[in-house]
Structure 1
Amino acid sequence: MRAIALYTGGKDSHYALMKALEEGIEVIGLVTALPKSIESWMFHAVNIKWTELHARAMGIKQYFIEVSGIKEREVDEFTEGLKKLMRDAGFDCLIVGAVASKYQYDRVMAMAKKLGVDVYAPLWGRDPYEVLNEEIGKIKFMLIAIQAYGLTEKWLGKIISEENKNEFINICRKYYLSPVGEGGEFETFVIYSPLFGDREVKIVRYEKVWYSTQYVGYIVIKEAKLELLTS
């Protein structure tokens, strides 16, 4: 099996990639959508270009496909990009980090059917709280976008860890939020993973945008780099 991972730089797509490699699946590359609109229904848009640091740290080739960010049209555009990539790179499986979003899962399955390839979705159908707990135990990630009542500005740019996970989970339960963010409540960006070896992503400079009356905000990474882990 030669697989390509649908990769956003967020915790779920990264964790699915980890699972694939643990299973011995040959991963020939990462493929990342570049939406022209931050209103994309299907793909991450905030800080997506910085995923190239992940690819470099893991030593995995990365491919980018530009899409409009317009609902449904972007799915067709991405599928066309995958068709070309399949001819050039040759793969027979898509790795996806969907957990409970039927919207996302159904569209990935439709893409795979059109391409005639398999889908590896190791997180699909699992308890989202269990998935979140596993991810917190294995990788380090921060919230880079929020759009949900209950998540205040203090969570924007925060790393979710063992120290604050109970508070975060309690908020998700209280306000009926998806703990993995699949309802669009938040987006994440991986800072460290065992797949990065002895390096991690260092965010040197960023700007924060927050709309307090809407509980919506995001950070714009201005400068980031890979650096050696400190003991």
Structure 2
Amino acid sequence: ISMKSKNPDSFMFHTPGIEMVKLQSKAFGIPLIEQETKGEKEVELKDLQKVIEKAKKKYNIKGITTGALYSNYQRERIEKIGDSLGLKVFSPLWHIDQEKLLREIIENGFRFIITKVAAEGLDKSWLGKEVNSKDIDKLVEINKKIGINIAFEGGEAETLMIDGPIFSKKIEIEKADIKMESKICGELLVKKVKLINK
């Protein structure tokens, strides 16, 4: 399920690179239901509930998995929707050590890039960067100095998964532009992308 919020400051849904979810769906080989929402606080949850209900009917889903690490706001609202629809909710990453999680993601063969930065300590040089173990070391140092959430749970940055064990094809970005609003706030605008067989 992909919620396309018209509000870039939505409390629930990320907007940077959302158009890439369709390509990720093809790379995973799983179906996708897309739904637009105005992104109004709390109203957007009703939109989400409707589309989850649609997925339950169409695909006979039994549960919802969240990627929440520390956001009670998101986790509790998803749990409420799950309860109302009779679906189990799983939050397997809940309160996992963030550095350990990032290192395990990379060690397990997942590849991701930074698509948005919005925090002190992060700048233009991070945009489009495929994160590796040395970058995690840098994020840990930035965290010690400034206190950013290294898994970006507070919106410090946004990422895009481009490959991993669950991908039947990998995503290759052929052309992208960088748009900076300030020294520490900017976005990678993907212009041309393709799927590559593995």
Shorter-chain TM-score bucket reads: over 0.9
1:41 & 1:227 partners in 2: Cα distance? 34
TM, length-normalised to structure 1: 0.80
State the AA in 2 paired with 1:78: L
Structure 2 residue 190 is matched with structure 1 residue 226: no
Partner Cα separation in structure 2 for residue 118 and residue 170 of structure 1: 38
1:10-40 Cα offsets, whole Å, 9 max, x none, are: xxxxxxxxxxxxxxxxxxxxx1111112221
Alignment of 1:18-57 (within 5 A): 31-57=1-27
2:141 corresponds in structure 1 to 170
**Could you tell me which residue of structure 2 aligns to residue 206 of structure 1?**
176
Asked if 1:146 is matched to 2:126, the reply is no
- How many residues align structurally? 197
How far apart in 1 are the matches of 2:144 and 2:130? Answer: 19
- Which stretch shifts more, 97-106 or 77-86? 77-86
Amino acid at match of 1:63: I
Q: How has the CA–CA distance of structure 1 residues 99 and 35 changed in structure 2, closer, same or farther, with 3 Å as cutoff?
A: same
Instruction: Give the drift of 1:112.
Output: 0.8
Aligned to 1:101: 71
Give 1:160's aligned residue.
131
Q: Secondary structure at the match of 2:166?
A: helix
1:22 maps to which residue? none
Question: In angstroms, what is the RMSD of aligned CA positions?
Answer: 1.5
Partners of 2:54 and 2:88 in 1: how far apart?
A: 17
Any gaps of 5 or more consecutive residues in structure 1?
Answer: 1-30
Alignment of 1:120-131 (within 5 A): 120-131=90-101
Question: What SS does structure 2 have at the residue aligned with 1:163?
Answer: helix
Counterpart amino acid of residue 128 in structure 2: G
Aligned residue type for 2:186: G
| Kept after mapping to 2: 8 A contact 1:143/1:155 | yes
Letter in 2 for 1:221: V
Contact preservation (8 Å) 1:100, 1:128: no
Q: Structure 2 stretches of 5 or more lacking a match?
A: none
Could you tell me how far 1:164 is from its partner in structure 2?
2.4
Q: CA deviation at 1:87?
A: 2.2
Deviations 1:182-213 (A, max 9, x none): 1111110011111114x321101112111225
Q: CA deviation at 1:150?
A: 1.3
**1:58-69 alignment, distance < 5 Å:** 58-69=28-39
Runs of 4 or more above 6 Å deviation: none
- In the other structure, the counterpart of 1:115 is 85
Letter in 2 for 1:36: K
TM-score (norm 2): 0.93
Distance, in Å, in 2 between the alignment partners of 1:171 and 1:89 is 43
One-letter code of the match for 1:148? A
Counterpart secondary structure, 1:143:
strand
CA contact (8 A) 2:102 2:136 kept: no
Residues 108-150 of structure 1: CA distance to partner in whole angstroms, max 9, x if unpaired? 1111111111012111121122111111222110110111111
